[in-house]
Amino acid sequence: VSGRRSQCAPGPLQVNLSPQQLVGVVGLEVHAQINSNTKLFSSSPARFSAPPNSLVSFFDASLPGTLPVLNKQCVEAAVMTGLALNCTINKKSLFDRKHYFYADLPAGYQITQQRRPIAVDGVLSYSLLGGKTRNQVIRKRVHIKQIQLEQDSGKSLHDDARSQTLIDLNRAGVGLMELVMEPDMSCGEEAAAAVRELQLILQALGTCQGNMSEGQLRVDANVSVHRPGEPLGVRTEVKNINSARYLARAIDYEIQRQIEVLQNGGTVHNETRAYDSKSGETIPMRDKEGLQDYRFMPEPNLPPLIVYEDDASLPTGIDACQTVVVQKIKEALPELPGVKRDRLVQTYGILPEHSFTLLNEDGLVEYFEALLKATKKEPRKVIGWVTNDLLGHLKRHDMSVSQSTIIPSCLSKPPVFQDMWRSPGKTAPQIIQEQDLGLVSDAEHLHHICQKVLDSHPDEVHAIKNGNTKVLNKLMGLVKKATKGRADPVMVRAILQEKISR
């Protein structure tokens, strides 16, 4: 969850903003690896951490005479992502060649969509938490210029000890969606919140797993500064940031660096920079003063990509299995994160920050709702068990929700939960019986405890008899303490009222 909006650049990087001062302008380019069994233009498997060069077809290696065959699953993923981000889906899009020469790009060009991408003009809505109590939801929007399909390059592995570079082409040709965001953000916090929201949307759709540590989501940040009302300044590009936290830090550092350069009479250069997470600084990689000529040209081996609005628009005689129909994909859209957060807050009365916590952990919403159903407890009490007891243990053991061995119904009794974690072979009923943690339902035993409480608190009994019924809650609390919270509160109240009214 992002912090207060007034703290866009935390710590020493914070900049006091006024109309006369320089402010940051941020746009993002996000490369999302499409969740597909095979690559964009070949039948090679798309899988992480396979042995080097074990997932390479003749086409991936650019052997002469090989031709691309478009993966329908990747097209459907791009259309679904575009619909979730309120984009216009182009019924006709085009593929292009983008030429550049790196060792991990064996063809010498990348197939992408430069002239007419598959989706344009979208909006990503995201939220930050702020205000004095840090639970006020601040809603923001960033415009999506376009979403384009393109193939990934291979990977260069630099061996400094032997002064050589090794090439792994397993990643070459894997399908990507490049999402280009307009410069609608002003600081690292906003950019990080937007990327987190995009990550959750992609995961909810199933179009990208969104694991940034495995390179499934890679972010380039375009950063500049200017005075409000004046033209935008010269921008720098910070490349290949692999976590939302580092993204926020890199952007805030770069904004502050550019402000200091200009305030000292210097010039901001149009360059590409990298973020060094150890030093917390951005460092120069290469300048962009001479714009690289990618020599874009239409891809001659791929026809225009056509998608259809609905079944009625399909041409006569066309094989429906080989087509992409927008209406069918639209009907399959799941509940999106923003809608789900609002539903959780409205349905269960939990705090907004709790709804962010639930969605930030995969599977936690389902666990929370299953726990509510199993225990019939107050949602605000259940959310405490989930965010404190469950998440605390999972983080200490570096585990995910799906790896938890504790079923939801066991979390309603923290002592049982603690013992089940330490002794996974034991069941909840066994622990409850061994430690005498079950509800005290023996009427005679409860009558004895209630009478003992009443005898030791005559002033409270007198106050209740004189009409101060609120004091009864104190006596109920004393009975609860005596039974270690295991007494049925309805039964306790009835017994106390009966004894006091005599």
Helix (H, G, I), strand (E, B) or coil at 502: coil
Which two structure tokens, joined as six digits, stand for 475? 């006596």
Is residue 9 scored above 60 in pLDDT?
no
Please answer whether residues 210 and 26 qualify as being in contact, where contact means their C-beta atoms are separated by less than 8 angstroms. no
Residues 412-454 have pLDDT tens digits of: 555 555 555 555 555 545 554 555 544 565 678 888 899 999 9
CA atoms within 13 A on the CB side of 243: 7
Half-sphere exposure of 374 (CA within 13 A, CB side): 14
Residue 14: the pLDDT is 41
Prediction pTM value: 0.80
Of 92, 70, 73, 461, the closest CA to residue 313 belongs to 92
Q: What's the sign of the alpha-carbon dihedral 465, 471, 472, 475?
A: negative
Residue 487: per-residue pLDDT: 77
Task: Find, among 93, 31, 60, 113, the residue nearest to 296 by Cα.
Answer: 113
| CATH of 443-500 given 1.10.10, 2.40.10, 3.90.1140, 1.10.3470 | 1.10.10
Question: Cα(149)–Cα(179) distance, rounded to whole angstroms?
Answer: 9
The burial of 202, by beta-carbon neighbours within 10 Å (0-12 exposed, 13-18 middle, 19 or more buried), is given as buried
Mean local confidence (pLDDT), 400-417: 65
Confidence band of 204 (pLDDT split at 50, 70, 90) = very high
Q: What's CA 94's distance to the chain center, in Å?
A: 31
| Amino acid present at 258 | Q
Highest mean pLDDT among 177-186, 286-295, 381-390, 457-466: 177-186
Percent of the chain having pLDDT more than 90?
60
pLDDT of residue 2: 37
Side-chain half-sphere exposure of 278, counting CA atoms within 13 A: 0
The DSSP string of 235-272 is: -EEEEEE-SHHHHHHHHHHHHHHHHHHHHTT-----EE
With bands split at pLDDT 50, 70 and 90, how would you rate the model's confidence at 10? Answer: very low
Q: Are 241 and 221 in contact (CB under 8 A)?
A: yes
Domain ranges in the chain are 5-9+26-298, 361-434, 443-500
